[in-house]
Amino acid sequence: MKPYMKFGLVIGVVIATLAWLAVGGVKETSTYYKTVAELQQMGDKAQGKRLRVGGDVVKGSIQRNGKEVSFHLVQQEGASKGQMLKVTYTGSDPLPDTFRDDAQALADGHLNPDGTFNANKIQAKCASKYEAKPGQIKPGTEPTYNRSKPGRS
């Protein structure tokens, strides 16, 4: 059984090292995911935390000012629909092409004391590729949308 003991030992060391790395990684990078409304509810607790805020980009709000880009995110669902958050993007990655008016965007960064948000990473997806949720089909649907069963139509 001796080789098996050795194996156990080596395996133990490998797994322990990886677990240690993983725990460290989680601690360093964990980011709280919040919607615009949830962020505003957090109040002061939001200060100093890594945050990822999700919302829709307000139409016409994207402004580029030299190296910075600022825009407004708006809460799209729920009771506090319409709450807004001003975001300033200062990261070095190019902005995604999907980032535009009305896109759903995720901004990573932290909350400034004045209530605006400083983002260093933006992810976005636009509604057109990623289809509508079931039961709310959209595209300029002049004909009232009516899902008819296949085979019967």
Partner 1 sequence: MENLGALSLLLAFSVAIFALFSSVVGAWRKNLFLIAAAQRSVYLVWLLISTASGILLYGLIEGDFRLQYVALHSNKTMPLMYKITAWWGGQEGSLLFWSWILSCYAAVVVFTNRKHYKTMMPYVIAVIMVTQVFFLVLNNFVVPPFNVWAIGRGIIALPDGQGLNPLLQTPSMAIHPPMLYLGYVGFIVPFAFAIASLITKQPGDEWIHTTRRWTLVTWLFQSVGITLGMGWAYYVLGWGGYWAWDPVENASVLPWITATAFLHSVMMQEKKGMMKVWNMVLVSATFFLCIFGTMLTRSGLVQSVHAFGISSIGNYFATFLAIGIAATIWLILDRLEFLKSESHLESVVSRESGFLFNNLVLLASCFAVLWGTLFPVISEAVTGEKISVDAPFFNKVNIPIGLFLLFLTGVGPLVAWRRSSVESLKRNFLWPTVSMFVTIAALFGAGIRSEYALLSFGLCMFVTVTISSEFVKGAIAIAGKDKMNPLLAIVELTHRNTRRYGGYLVHMGIVVMFIGFTGAAFNKDMIHEAALGQSFNIGRYELKITDLKDGENDNYAWMKAAIDVYVGGEKIDTLSPERRIYKASRQPASEVAIRRRLNEDLFLNFAAMATQGQGAVIQAYVFPLVSWIWVGFFVVLFGTLVCLIPSKIKYSYARTEIVGSVSAASKGQVHAKT
CB of 96 within 8 A of CB of 124?
Answer: yes
CB of 33 to partner 1, least distance (A): 4
- Identity of residue 102: D
Is residue 14 part of the contact set for partner 1 (CB under 8 A)? yes
- Which segment (2-10, 76-84, 111-119) binds partner 1 by CB under 8 A? 2-10
76 touches 102 (CB < 8 A): no
- Write the CB contacts of 112 (distance below 8 Å, at least 6 apart in sequence): 118
Q: Is 58 in the site for partner 1 (CB under 8 A)?
A: no
Round to whole Å and give the CA distance between 5 and 10: 9
What single DSSP character describes residue 29? H
Q: Convert residues 76-115 into a mask of x (bound to partner 1 by CB under 8 A) and - (unbound).
A: ----------------xxxxxxxxxx----x-x-------
Which one of 16, 25, 81, 117 is in contact with partner 1 (CB under 8 A)? 25
* Residue 44 contacts partner 1 per CB under 8 A: no
> CA torsion 34→38→39→42, rounded to 10°?
-120
Query: How many amino acids of this chain bind partner 1 (CB under 8 A)?
Result: 63
Our finding on whether 13 is near partner 1 (CB under 8 A) is no
Greatest pairwise CA separation for the chain in angstroms: 76
Write out the residues near partner 1 by the rule CB under 8 A.
3-4, 6-7, 10-11, 14-15, 17-18, 21-22, 24-26, 28-34, 52, 54, 64-67, 92-101, 106, 108, 123-126, 128-134, 137, 139, 143-151, 153
